[in-house]
């Protein structure tokens, strides 16, 4: 089916967000996020550029909002351990099903898993050195996005770093993802929502221009290949 990619498909719903989604398909989707993230999200670069330099100054607190299967948190925990560095990492998700699955996969990484919204952490007075998300922004309404940005700034105070990473919507990204996932859909992606939800995610995502036009002052938007957006707010310590 051909879709209009010129505007955000904010009404399109991802299958994984359905409370009645098939649980085996959903869990296979959480499991496959690890592969998707390794291929497109650049978690290693994020670790080297934004986490490791801060952890070298002393123990830090890290929060992942919308952590899904928790693979990015576990990867960061493993790299920190390898590098002899210390951090407390919290994987937060609004969906109990994600938290249940992610904590069952943990295998002693030390990551803490919690079902909550960012506003609850703000109300509790929690503070972190780094707050990040990956593939969360496109799930949110514009109002929810504004609340997330406010919450994430409050959660890092004056000094911390906020990094929200997501897909950049484009016809090229849609066509490429469609072709690649079609080729592997019968094997690697079988029994998951990765292909369908990925296509919906691209349609729901922002372009760099759209995101820039709606974020408050102090945030920067950066585009990178392959069709990625990064929304950053650098605290004083990162300047
Ligand atoms: C596409 S998944 C991404 C998971 C993970 N960050 C990754 O990169 O693989 C989006 C996740 O965000 C969660 N989510 C959606 N809205 C949320 C919110 N307002 N607060 C916290 N989590 C949310 C969903 O439950 C889902 O697990």
Do the domain assignments include residue 7? no
Is residue 104 in a domain? yes
- Helix, strand, coil % in the chain, rounded to nearest 5: 50, 20, 35
How far is the centre of ligand 1, averaged over its atoms, from the C-alpha of 64 (Å)? 9
Range of the domain at 112: 22-168+207-238
Cα(29) to centroid(ligand 1), Å: 12
* Cis, peptide link before residue 153, omega less than 30° from 0: no
Per the domain annotation, does 58 fall within a domain? yes
Q: Residue 145 falls within a domain, yes or no? A: yes
Closest ligand 1 atom number to CA of residue 148: 19
Query: Is residue 47 domain-resident?
Result: yes
- With a cut of 50, say whether residue 239 has pLDDT above it: no
Q: What pTM, to 2 d.p., does this model score?
A: 0.96
Number of compact structural domains in the chain: 1
Q: What percent of the chain has pLDDT above 70? A: 98
Please determine, for residue 124, whether its predicted confidence score (pLDDT) is greater than 70. Answer: yes
Mean of pLDDT values over 26-47: 97
Using CA positions, which residue lies closest to atom 14 of ligand 1?
Answer: 66
**Residues with Cβ within 8 Å of residue 3, at least 6 apart in sequence:** 9, 174, 203
Cross-strand partners of 230:
165, 222
CATH number of the CATH domain containing 116: 3.40.50.150
Tell me how far the alpha carbon of residue 182 lies from the centroid of ligand 1, in angstroms. Answer: 24
95 lines ligand 1 (CB under 6 A): yes
Evaluate whether residue 32 is within a structural domain.
Answer: yes
Mean pLDDT for all residues in the chain: 96
Question: Tell me: the pLDDT tens digits for 175-227?
Answer: 999 999 999 988 899 999 999 999 999 999 999 999 999 999 999 999 999 89
Q: How many angstroms separate the alpha carbon of residue 27 from the centre of ligand 1? A: 14
**31/62 Cα distance (integer angstroms):** 22
Closest CA to 231 of 93, 120, 136: 136
Mean pLDDT of 94-109: 97
Q: Whose CA is nearest to atom 24 of ligand 1?
A: 66
Q: Indicate which residue's Cα is closest to atom 26 of ligand 1.
A: 68
Domain assignment present for 118: yes
Is the beta carbon of 208 within 6 A of some atom in ligand 1? no
With respect to residue 12, please indicate whether it lies within any of the assigned structural domains. no
pLDDT of residue 27: 98
Ligand 1 contacts CB of residue 113 (under 6 A): no
Q: Ligand 1, atom 27: nearest CA belongs to which residue?
A: 68
User: Does any ligand 1 atom lie closer than 6 A to the CB of residue 163?
Assistant: no
Query: CB of 33 within 8 A of CB of 134?
Result: no
């Amino acid at each position: 089916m051909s879709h209009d990619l010129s505007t955000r498909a904010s009404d399109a719903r991802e299958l994984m967000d359905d409370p009645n989604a098939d649980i085996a398909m959903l869990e296979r989707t959480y499991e496959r996020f690890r592969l998707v993230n390794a291929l497109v999200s650049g978690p290693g670069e994020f670790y080297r550029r934004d986490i490791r330099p801060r952890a070298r100054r002393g123990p830090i607190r890290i929060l992942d909002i919308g952590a899904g299967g928790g693979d990015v948190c576990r990867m960061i925990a493993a790299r920190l351990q390898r590098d002899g560095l210390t951090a407390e990492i919290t994987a937060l998700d609004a969906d109990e099903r994600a938290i249940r699955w992610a904590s069952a996969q943990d295998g002693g990484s030390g990551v803490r898993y919690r079902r909550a919204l960012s506003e609850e952490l703000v109300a509790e007075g929690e503070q972190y050195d780094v707050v990040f998300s990956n593939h969360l922004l496109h799930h949110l309404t514009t109002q929810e996005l504004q609340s997330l940005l406010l919450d994430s700034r409050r959660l890092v105070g004056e000094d911390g770093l906020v990094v929200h990473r997501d897909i950049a919507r484009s016809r090229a990204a849609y066509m490429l993802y469609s072709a690649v996932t079609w080729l592997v859909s019968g094997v690697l992606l079988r029994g998951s929502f990765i292909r369908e939800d990925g296509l919906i995610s691209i349609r729901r995502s922002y372009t760099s221009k759209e995101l820039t036009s709606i974020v408050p002052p102090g945030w920067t938007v950066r585009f990178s290949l392959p069709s990625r957006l990064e929304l950053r707010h650098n605290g004083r310590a990162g300047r």
